[in-house]
Amino acid sequence: MLFQRIAALLVAATVLLLAGQAQAIPAFARRYETSCQTCHIAFPKLTPFGEAFRRNAYRFPGGGDTTAEKEEPLALGNDAMKDRWPAAVWPGQFARQLPLSLLIDGKATFGPEPEGHGHGAAMAGMAMSDGHNEHATALGTLGGHVGLRAGGTFGDIGGYFASVDVGGHEPIAVERSFAVLTPAGPTALHVRVGRFEPELHGVSIHRGIFNHQLRLTTNTVQLNTFSPEMSATGLELSGVVAGRAAWAVGAVENAPASTSARKDFYGRVEGKLGGMRLDGLDATAGGAAWSERSLSLGFSAWSGRSGLLDNTGMPIHDDDFLRIGVDLHAIFDDLLLDVVGVRQSHNQPTAATGKKMNIDMAFAELTWMVNAVFVPTLRFEGSSLDYGDGKPDQRYLTSLQGTWVLRPNLLLRIDAGVGADPGERADLRAVSAGFSAAF
């Protein structure tokens, strides 16, 4: 029995090291001997510096690792080997301690629909969940999951991130796993390959203060089960230009797989005015880590093709779709605002040939930093599915959450949601209380 347990731990560690968009993890805090609040408002939501750290492939901006990194890496060879390359392998390095972190979530939910319904799932009468294992009780549902995270750098040539969840969408799942190379410096060009969350709207479940999915990135349309969350498999190129603009383009596998060989393609451009530069350079010490005055605007597009299946699993036809999005992100001292609007147009998302549909989605989230400990957040999510008959299906969910940062690595969350589905009056969807801990 002891041998089996040790073997299981070794397998898990191996998967992590060989194996999504990254959230900063305690392994980074150990590496720099700093608090989680260096990069986070309340994990995994990032401060402007945390965002710059992410865009530097998990390194301190401006070459700051040479002075900030407290855990000296283990050198794999010496500098003399560089002069002998390629007769000798170029020297590298890795962390002296295994860069693993453990995340634990627990949640109790009271109410009939914790996440409301998606436009695809609702057709089958299925409720969207928060992606965690849930167990029904007389009062509601109890849920939770354990996550293993690994993250670090390959010296000055790139970084990596891996995420394995136990008790999430599946009993055990490699949720995200990618490497990112930086051949033109830390921010000018990132080459990301593997399984990752596409850089699309500037908001993400992996960098959000709410501990559940976004309708914006999980809504599906009829038989087409495409959604950009949680992750996609492919290649993405991205970079920062002059510290104030950023771009990303990617090619990923269809979800679900198409009968053709065509891949999905997407792109995003964004710009930021005021506040810390996207690359973190020329930053000056100010007040609170989250506080600045800035405005960011983004535009994104996704051209996709998904294969549709009937209820027996047999292919019907492909559905081509186009997703266009605009987003705004503003910080004004202690107020943080995110707004996203999306239109997704489908050619034939049903079994009927040539049946076109459009879905419009809106997302808005306002966070107030009352202080470093208490963070209330108000979120609105709405969608409208147009069947072409002048009677669109409209759904919305408004959620209010209070987050308490009990310790840098321990959060308490209490939230409530009110929403409506087509033809229904608004009512209480759920009230929940939960915690998140990271080690």
Work out the average pLDDT over 243-248: 97
Give the pLDDT score at 24. 53
Q: Write down the pLDDT at residue 178.
A: 95
The CA-CA-CA angle for residues 304, 305, 309, to 5°, reads: 140
Q: Mean pLDDT, to the nearest integer, of 27-40?
A: 76
| Per-residue model confidence (pLDDT) at position 129 | 34
Global confidence as pTM: 0.84
Q: pLDDT value at position 11? A: 35
Question: Is it the case that residue 19 has pLDDT exceeding 60?
Answer: no
What is the structure's pLDDT at 273? 97
- What are the pLDDT digits (tens) for 389-399? 778 899 999 99
Is 432 in contact with 414 (CB distance < 8 Å)? yes
CA distance linking residue 151 with residue 131, whole number of Å: 22
Phi, psi of 418 (to 5 degrees): -120, 130
pLDDT digits (tens, 9 = 90+) for 95-149: 767 788 888 888 888 876 655 333 443 332 223 333 333 444 444 566 677 888 8
Place of tokens 């005021």: 274
Phi, psi of 59 (to 5 degrees): -130, 155
Q: Residue 390: its pLDDT value, please? A: 76
For residue range 246-267, what is the model confidence (pLDDT) as tens digits? 999 999 998 777 777 889 999 9
DSSP state of 367: E
User: Is residue 63 left, alpha or beta, with left meaning phi > 0 and alpha meaning psi from -120 to 50?
Assistant: left
pLDDT for 68: 67
In angstroms, the CA 235 to CA 238 distance is 10
Inter-residue contact 175 to 148 (CB < 8 Å): no
Q: Summarize pLDDT for 75-95 with one digit per residue, the tens.
A: 777 887 888 888 888 787 777
List pLDDT tens digits, range 325-337.
Answer: 999 999 999 999 9
Query: C-alpha angle 105/110/113, rounded to 5°?
Result: 95
Q: Return the structure tokens found at 335.
A: 């107020």
Residue with tokens 């709405």: 382
Share of the chain above pLDDT 70, in %: 84
Q: Is residue 20 scored above 50 in pLDDT?
A: no
Predicted pLDDT of residue 131:
36
Q: Give the per-residue pLDDT at 269.
A: 98
Q: Give me the mean pLDDT over the 327-352 stretch.
A: 96
Who has greater pLDDT, 30 or 333? 333
DSSP string for 325-343: EEEEEEEETTEEEEEEEEE
Burial class (CB in 10 A: 0-12, 13-18, 19+), 64: middle
Residue 21 in this model has a pLDDT that exceeds 50: no
Length of the chain, in residues? 439
Reduced to 3 states (helix: H, G, I; strand: E, B; else coil), residue 295 is strand
Q: Whose CA is closest to 350, among 123, 196, 128? A: 123
Place domain 2-70+100-438 in its CATH homologous superfamily. Porin (2.40.160.10)
Q: Is 243 helix (H, G, I), strand (E, B) or coil?
A: coil
- CA–centroid distance for 109 within its chain: 23
Q: Tell me how many degrees the CA angle 411-417-420 measures, rounded to the nearest 5.
A: 155
Categorize the per-residue pLDDT at 168 as very low, low, confident or very high, splitting at 50, 70 and 90. low
pLDDT of residue 64: 67
Q: How far apart are CA 359 and CA 419, in angstroms?
A: 18
Q: Are 343 and 332 in contact (CB under 8 A)?
A: no
User: CA 375 → CA 234, 277, 318, 411, distances in Å?
Assistant: 36, 24, 44, 11
From the number of C-beta atoms within 10 Å of its C-beta (0-12, 13-18, 19+), residue 326 rates as: middle
Q: What is the pLDDT of residue 141?
A: 65
pLDDT of 344 strictly over 70:
yes
Task: Give pLDDT, residue 7.
Answer: 39
